[in-house]
Amino acid sequence: MDTLVPRFRWGNILPAHQAVRLGPGYQFYRLVPLDIIEVEAVLGIPDYTVDGVEVAMANFWPCVDLLARERVNRIVFAGAPISAQLGRPRVRELLAAVEQKTGVPADAPLEAVIAAMNHLGLRRIAVASRWADELNRALAGYLEDGGLEVMGITSRGQWARTAHAMALEEAMQMNLEVGREAARLAPPAEAILVPGGVGMTLSTIVPLEEEFGQPVLTNTNAEIWNGLVRTGVIPPLQGWGRLLARP
């Protein structure tokens, strides 16, 4: 039995409103060893609108309690659109309250992106977004509150239901397209952010870095760097872009 007991428990509060979820943990386990277990709780968000986020936040503390009972070592409040709509001050207050209540370090994807940019010594970022303009404005505001300069941001007008209605291959192709568009839209940018969990954004890192010579950040690589590589739980990872390769 000892061979199956995980050495680290990664708690994730997921938006997870869609009926079908493709490969939960698939991107996570492309990067981390199998003795780290991902433990998920579901927020149950109806959409990424301000009202939709507020409805789902009624489930936030029950999710925290569920993960704490599973003795997780870290809690990630996943969903970049959720953080964007809540705003940075409120997200940081929630993360601090989680740690105070449970004793477990807490993180969120946009906080991890800001930490990663600071680690890389970069400030100017281009955002490869599929989302609606309203959500993009909230996302840009969050990053700017964190000291970053958003040089440009793409849009495909999507809310959650539209995004999750795409086939996997369609979503992956769109992520690559908006990544290239963002890089060309804002050449003064020092990094490219491809936010969101739809369409395996991890697949954009290597091709975009090779094509444009800039580090590429996603929810997944930023969270894993901030929570596992930076803290020494796992060593730096080669072959998955500039951020994860750095100690």
Measured distance CA(11)–CA(8) in Å, rounded: 10
The arithmetic mean of pLDDT across residues 28-43, rounded, is 95
Instruction: Kindly state the percentage of the chain with pLDDT values over 90.
Output: 83
Measured distance CA(194)–CA(178) in Å, rounded: 8
CATH code that applies to domain 110-221: 3.40.50.12500
Question: Domain 2-108 has what CATH class?
Answer: alpha beta
Residue 106 has pLDDT above 80, yes or no: yes
Mean of the per-residue pLDDT values for the chain? Answer: 94
The pLDDT score that the predictor gives to residue 220 is 95
| pLDDT tens per residue, range 206-228 | 999 999 999 999 999 999 999 99
Q: Is 2-108's fold the same as 110-221's?
A: yes
Which residues are bridge partners to 61 per DSSP?
none
Asked whether the whole model's pTM tops 0.75, one would answer: yes
Residue 156 buriedness (CB in 10 A; 0-12 / 13-18 / 19+) = middle
Residue 20 has pLDDT above 80, yes or no: no
The pLDDT score that the predictor gives to residue 127 is 98
Provide the H-helix boundaries in 50-167: 50-56, 60-69, 80-86, 88-102, 109-120, 133-145, 160-164
What does the domain layout of the chain look like in residue ranges? 2-108, 110-221
Give me the residue label for tokens 């409103």. Answer: 17
The pLDDT score that the predictor gives to residue 21 is 67
Which of 59-63, 156-160, 221-225 has the weakest average pLDDT? 156-160
CB atoms within 10 A of CB 207: 13
